[in-house]
Every structure is written in structure tokens, then in C-alpha cells.
């Protein structure tokens, strides 16, 4: 296929692709995102391929490996077109029956449908499932529909049409549109993208760069990974439009090394776009030229900070610089550079396609559009959800997420990763947008939403984040490098029951110093997990220091395991599995834990069928 020389050739090609694959054609779409892949979706694809071939259906029914659908909890997911029916937890052994019944006879296999655990109702279509019903999918919309390795799939659904439109509008008008849409950066701070673009464009220079920040370092967030894996061309198109508006001719995508599949899919997408003349010189005959390089990260959280990221691309250690000057004025190799993250770039094509007015009508006044959250932790429906800004936490956690598993009690939701904070039950009706979250002591961050139940200890969680941040501090500022180390030590003391009330006060004081005196966002927000848990869960801290108790039963030094003689039936399972031989007892008789030997690994509690192991 030759490169498109102008917009008409692209449009003609689209017509051809659409005609070759009519809407009512049968297709099977197997999710091949990282989650479903781990559940065996590649084996499933092979099985479908074989089965279709065996029945000589391989030319009639299209088999597609798509990006992440978001509902990772129920993977592997398989969608059937044109009906849009969803099967979940599909296994290789189901394939023959599926082809025979569902594909050939168009019969539904009941057991593979999603069943709502609360109502018991079964749902056929993806859009009827509560997990999807309450979402507004703008960026993730096409993830389940297209094969991310096929540029034709993207072109078929209107891909690169926004680029054509932008090239016709001229850079100023494109910029005006993005500004009017009030698009805010989805990477954390929520800075208005249009203003950043404008600053970069207005800085006098012979060269400008655009960068896509795909160093999604917040543990517990994976929307950028899913967008890159599932719809890489949407990011490429967004960057193209941005580069055109800003006047840049070179771009970088900085991807975490922990996301090998995203790198692979992006490489394929870039190659295809180059071959089709959508990257390179004189794109679609417009005179505008642009190309993109991929840079892999090395596993440093701080490289999500833009000046550290730039240092890393330049071949240096990822240490942040003082700002201003901001990268939009003086960035990569000293040139004006515009950095946005994956989700922000992926929002650009729909804005150009449907207009700023439409985009700004979604969400709230201050935070327009949608936001993708990764809803994870102690929640029934884990996965990626995309909702309009301003939805309440309660709607996200309970209506979409289906609440807490095992009938446990909700305790808190942690948003914004290590820079964010925890919000308790009484804040569940807070609308989720950039400004409200900040006001409540948390932050949007890149959209991680970790749900915690009564079994999560908030002191342990704060300790966890500080351990994380202490290792990830680049070491530049004393307050961050040493302050976080000391803070972590203090929390270890509290968790071990060695703390006093004075320790809590010291933690609070030190946290404020680290916040106020560190250069970059890593240090200045590092105290958030401590300060927000102290703000809402001070009683838990106090239980650790005053009563020497861990109410959630997590902190090892403060808990003991014992076997309830009334419930133990002497099945020996715990005795056999205990790695320390700390459990004694004969078959059929009540077992006992020898406390001296017990290392509190919790295996006995895991394996007990009778729920006889008690943690106190």
C-alpha cells in the first residue's frame, strides 16, 4: 500500500476498508490486553482460529485480537459482532461449543454471560452490564472494537479524520479549539493543555518538540498502558494534531519499561503510520512534517515528572530541574517542549472531531470531559472505568464497582497514587474532579482509585507509600531524601507498637517540612498519604501507639494468630501447610499454634476451611 499523498486518498481508502467489512459481518473479538492475556487469551485466540478453520468459517467470520475492554476482573472477555454480545471467563474448552452454538446457530450460551452478583440477573450485551452502563467511554470507546495492530481498523472507524480536519483548520484555530474545550492534563496536576500548547507555540525558536508522557508510575494506575496497548493510533493522532498546532516537527513517547506490550504495539503503529504517509515529511500534502521516537524508561517513578523525564531522554539521570523555566519555554535540548500524558493526547482527536463545545458539555464547569480510573483493590468489579468528571465516588465504587467483596465494610478509597490521599466513607458523595479532590486532601493524579476495606490498616498503607517514595526519591533535595527516610522509620516504629503520641506529632511536623521544602512534585506531595490518613484516620494511629493494637489486624508486631477451639475440626490442613511447623495437633483434634514459632505469615488462615484461625 502506497503512502497517502492527500486527504482524498485517505478518505478513498477508508471507503474501501468499510466496504470490505460490512457492519453486519460476523466477528469475534478476543481481548488481548495485559489482564486477559494473563488469563490465557492468546491460547483462546489460537483455539478460535483452529475451530473456525476446521468448520471452514475462517473466511466468513472475522477473528480479532483487541485492546483492553476494562473489565479485567471477568477476563478473558470475548465480544461477538454484530450483536455486541459479551462472554466472560471464557476458557479454551468452551471454544468448540461457542463456535457451534453461538457463531453458527446464533444461540446464547447462558453460563458464559455475565451475572450480576447482587440481582442475579444475566446480561447479554456489554452496555447492559452495570459496570459499563454507568460509564461514558470517550477515550476507551474503541478499545474493544479494533485490532490495535491494524491501522486499517483505526482508519475504518474514522481514524486520522481529525488530523485531516485539523490540517484544514490551521494551527491557530486548532489551538483555539483545544483551549475552548478546557482540556486539562490527565497526568496529575490538571494544568490546562491549551495554555501549555500556546506557551510552547509562542516561544521563539527554530525547533520545538512534543512529548507523550507514558511513564505511568503511580502504582495502581494502568489506563495509559491500556490506551497505548488498545488504541495506539489515537495517541499518535493526538500528538500529530498537537505538533501541528504548536509547530513541532519531532516527538518522543517515553514509555515505562514495565509495559513491554505497549512498546510493541506502539512500534507497530508508528511503522504503519510512516508507511501510510501519516508520519514523516509533508503529511497528506499539507507541508507539515512530524515523526515520533520511542524512549523506554528505566523504572524510576520520578521520571513521570516532566523535567526528570526530559533529563532521562537526554541520556542523564532522571533528576528534576527547578522550574521555571518550564519545558514549554526551555525543554528538551533547551528547546520549547510540550509534554502531555497518554490520556490527554488521546482526548485531542475527539475534541477536533466533535468540537470544543461538545467536549466542554461533558463533565463539570472546571473539569471538562471524562476521566479514566483504574478501580482496583478491595472492590468486586476491578478494571478500567471511564466516567464523566464530577461523578461521585459512591457511584464509581458501588454502582460501577459493585461494592466490596465478601460483605466487608468499606473503609477508604485512595486516589492519586503516592502523591494522593485517602478519602473515608463520609466523603463518598464528593464529586470527583480536579479541584474537589485537591480540596479534600487527595488528588486526581493519573487516576488510580484503590478501594480499601476494614482489613486494610491505614498506618500500614502510609508506611507502604513512604517506603515506595523513599526508594524513588532521586536524592537531590535533603528534605526529600532524608526526610522521607526518617518519616518511614517513624511509621515503622508506630506500626511495631514502639511509638508514642509524640511520634505522631513528629510525623506530622516532618511531613509538613518535606512538603514545603522539596523542589519537585515527588517531595512536595510525598507527605499526602501520611497527612490524609492522619486527617481522617487518626484513631487508627492512636490505637497503634496507645493501645498497641492494629485494629485491621495487619501490622505483624501487634497481632497474634490463634485457633478457635470451638470451630477447629482438626483437618490438619494448617499443620501441614505451616512453613514453621508452628501448628500442633492430631487429626480430628483441635489444633494449636505455638506462638514462639509463629512468623505470622497467615498461611493457616488462608487454608482453613472452617474460618477457625483468628487474628487478634
Binding site residues, other proteins, CB under 8 A:
34-35, 37-39, 72-73, 75, 216-222, 225-226, 257-259, 293, 295-301, 312-318, 374, 376-378, 382-383, 414, 417, 448, 450, 452, 456, 461, 464-465, 468, 471-472, 474, 577, 579, 601-603, 606-607
- Smallest separation (angstroms) from other proteins to the CB of 372: 12
- Smallest separation (angstroms) from other proteins to the CB of 364: 27
CA distance 545 to 535: 16
456 vs 524, which CB is nearer to other proteins?
Answer: 456
Rg (CA), the chain: 26
List Cβ neighbours of 141 (8 Å cut-off, separation of 6 or more).
Answer: none
Cell 487429626 identifies what position?
Answer: 587
DSSP H helices, 411-561, are 434-439, 458-472, 478-495, 501-517, 521-526, 528-545
- Smallest separation (angstroms) from other proteins to the CB of 291: 14
User: For the chain, first and last CA: distance in Å?
Assistant: 68
167 vs 422, which CB is nearer to other proteins?
Answer: 422
- Smallest separation (angstroms) from other proteins to the CB of 486: 21
CA distances from 122 to 4, 85, 112, 404 (A): 47, 12, 10, 20
Say if residues 164 and 10 touch (Cβ distance below 8 Å): yes
DSSP 126: G
CA distance 125 to 527: 44
User: Which H, E and C letters describe 186-254, residue by residue?
Assistant: CCCCCCEHHHHHHHHHHCCCCCCEEEEEECCCCCCCCHHHHHHHHCHHHHHHHHHHHHHHHCCCEEEEE
DSSP H helices, 413-477, are 434-439, 458-472
1 vs 38, which CB is nearer to other proteins?
Answer: 38
218 vs 237, which CB is nearer to other proteins?
Answer: 218
- Smallest separation (angstroms) from other proteins to the CB of 418: 8
Cell numbers standing for residue 421: 490521599
- Smallest separation (angstroms) from other proteins to the CB of 395: 19
47 vs 221, which CB is nearer to other proteins?
Answer: 221
Cell numbers standing for residue 403: 461494592
DSSP 494: H
- Smallest separation (angstroms) from other proteins to the CB of 298: 3
- Smallest separation (angstroms) from other proteins to the CB of 332: 9
Sheet holding 421-424, edge to edge: 383-388, 370-377, 448-453, 410-415, 421-424
Strand partners, 413: 423, 451
Identify which of 17, 19, 22, 146 has the alpha carbon closest to the alpha carbon of residue 79.
146
- Smallest separation (angstroms) from other proteins to the CB of 22: 34
CA 340 to chain centre: 16
- The number of CA neighbours under 13 Å toward the Cβ of 197 is 32
66 vs 368, which CB is nearer to other proteins?
Answer: 66
Cell numbers standing for residue 291: 515523526
144 vs 194, which CB is nearer to other proteins?
Answer: 144
Cell numbers standing for residue 537: 484516620
Say if residues 552 and 492 touch (Cβ distance below 8 Å): no
358 vs 471, which CB is nearer to other proteins?
Answer: 471
- Smallest separation (angstroms) from other proteins to the CB of 483: 20
323 vs 408, which CB is nearer to other proteins?
Answer: 408
13 vs 225, which CB is nearer to other proteins?
Answer: 225
142 vs 456, which CB is nearer to other proteins?
Answer: 456
10 vs 396, which CB is nearer to other proteins?
Answer: 396
- Smallest separation (angstroms) from other proteins to the CB of 595: 18
CA distance 201 to 578: 64
- Smallest separation (angstroms) from other proteins to the CB of 259: 6
DSSP-assigned states of every residue in 395-431: IIIIIIT---GGGPPEEEEEESGGGSEEEEGGGTTSB
126 vs 472, which CB is nearer to other proteins?
Answer: 472
CA distance 572 to 575: 5
- Smallest separation (angstroms) from other proteins to the CB of 491: 14
Say if residues 253 and 235 touch (Cβ distance below 8 Å): yes
Amino acid at each position: 500500500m502506497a503512502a497517502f499523498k492527500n486527504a482524498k486518498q485517505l478518505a478513498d481508502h477508508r471507503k474501501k476498508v468499510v466496504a470490505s467489512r460490512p457492519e453486519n459481518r460476523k466477528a469475534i473479538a478476543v481481548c488481548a490486553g495485559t489482564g486477559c492475556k494473563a488469563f490465557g487469551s492468546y491460547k483462546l485466540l489460537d483455539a478460535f482460529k483452529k475451530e473456525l478453520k476446521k468448520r471452514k468459517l475462517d473466511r466468513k467470520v472475522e477473528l480479532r485480537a483487541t485492546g483492553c475492554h476494562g473489565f479485567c476482573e471477568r477476563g478473558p472477555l470475548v465480544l461477538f459482532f454484530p450483536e455486541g454480545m459479551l462472554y466472560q471467563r471464557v476458557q479454551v474448552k468452551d471454544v468448540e461449543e461457542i463456535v457451534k452454538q453461538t457463531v453458527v446457530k446464533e444461540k446464547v450460551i447462558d453460563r458464559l454471560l455475565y451475572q450480576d452478583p447482587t440481582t442475579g440477573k444475566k446480561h447479554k450485551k456489554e452496555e447492559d452490564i452495570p459496570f459499563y452502563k454507568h460509564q461514558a467511554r470517550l477515550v476507551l470507546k474503541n478499545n474493544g472494537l479494533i485490532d490495535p495492530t491494524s491501522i486499517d481498523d483505526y482508519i475504518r472507524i474514522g481514524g486520522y479524520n481529525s488530523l485531516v480536519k485539523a490540517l484544514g483548520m490551521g494551527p491557530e484555530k486548532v489551538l483555539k479549539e483545544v483551549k475552548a474545550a478546557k482540556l486539562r492534563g490527565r497526568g496529575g496536576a490538571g494544568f490546562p493543555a491549551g495554555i501549555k500548547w500556546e506557551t510552547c507555540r509562542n516561544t521563539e525558536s527554530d525547533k520545538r518538540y512534543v512529548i507523550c508522557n507514558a511513564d505511568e508510575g503511580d502504582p495502581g494506575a494502568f489506563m495509559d498502558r491500556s490506551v497505548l496497548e488498545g488504541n495506539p493510533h489515537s495517541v499518535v493522532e493526538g500528538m500529530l494534531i498537537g505538533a501541528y498546532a504548536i509547530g513541532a516537527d519531532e516527538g518522543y513517547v517515553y514509555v515505562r519499561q514495565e509495559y513491554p506490550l505497549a512498546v510493541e504495539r506502539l512500534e507497530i503503529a508508528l511503522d504503519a503510520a510512516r508507511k501510510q504517509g501519516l508520519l514523516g515529511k509533508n503529511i497528506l500534502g499539507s507541508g507539515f512534517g512530524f515523526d515520533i521516537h520511542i524512549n523506554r524508561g528505566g523504572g524510576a517513578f520520578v521520571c513521570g515528572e516532566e523535567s526528570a523525564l526530559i533529563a532521562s531522554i537526554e541520556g542523564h539521570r532522571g533528576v528534576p530541574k527547578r522550574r521555571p523555566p518550564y519545558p514549554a519555554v526551555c525543554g528538551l535540548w533547551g528547546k520549547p517542549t510540550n509534554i502531555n500524558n497518554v490520556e490527554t493526547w488521546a482526548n485531542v482527536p475527539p475534541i477536533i472531531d466533535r468540537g470544543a463545545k461538545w467536549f466542554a458539555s461533558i463533565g463539570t464547569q472546571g473539569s471538562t470531559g471524562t476521566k479514566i480510573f483504574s478501580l482496583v483493590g478491595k472492590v468486586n468489579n476491578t478494571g478500567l472505568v471511564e466516567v464523566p468528571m464530577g461523578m461521585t465516588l459512591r457511584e464509581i465504587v458501588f454502582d460501577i464497582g459493585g461494592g466490596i467483596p465478601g460483605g466487608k465494610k468499606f473503609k477508604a478509597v485512595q486516589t492519586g497514587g503516592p502523591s494522593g490521599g485517602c478519602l473515608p466513607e463520609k466523603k463518598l458523595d464528593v464529586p470527583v474532579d480536579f479541584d474537589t479532590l485537591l480540596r479534600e486532601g487527595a488528588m486526581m493524579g493519573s487516576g488510580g482509585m484503590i478501594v480499601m476495606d476494614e482489613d486494610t490498616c491505614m498506618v500500614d498503607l502510609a508506611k507502604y507509600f513512604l517506603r515506595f517514595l523513599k526508594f524513588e526519591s532521586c536524592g537531590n533535595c535533603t528534605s526529600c531524601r532524608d526526610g522521607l527516610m526518617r518519616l518511614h522509620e517513624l511509621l515503622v516504629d508506630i506500626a511495631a507498637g514502639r511509638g508514642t503520641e509524640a511520634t505522631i506529632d513528629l510525623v506530622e511536623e516532618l511531613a509538613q517540612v518535606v512538603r514545603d521544602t522539596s523542589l519537585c512534585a515527588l517531595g512536595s506531595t510525598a507527605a499526602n498519604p501520611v497527612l490524609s490518613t492522619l486527617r481522617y484516620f487518626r484513631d487508627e494511629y492512636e490505637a497503634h501507639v496507645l493501645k498497641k493494637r492494629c485494629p485491621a489486624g495487619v501490622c505483624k508486631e501487634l497481632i497474634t494468630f490463634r485457633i478457635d477451639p470451638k470451630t477447629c475440626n482438626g483437618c490438619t490442613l494448617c499443620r501441614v501447610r505451616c512453613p514453621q511447623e508452628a501448628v500442633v495437633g492430631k487429626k480430628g483434634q483441635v489444633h494449636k499454634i505455638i506462638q514462639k514459632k509463629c512468623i505470622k505469615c497467615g498461611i493457616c488462615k488462608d487454608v482453613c476451611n472452617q474460618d477457625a484461625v483468628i487474628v487478634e
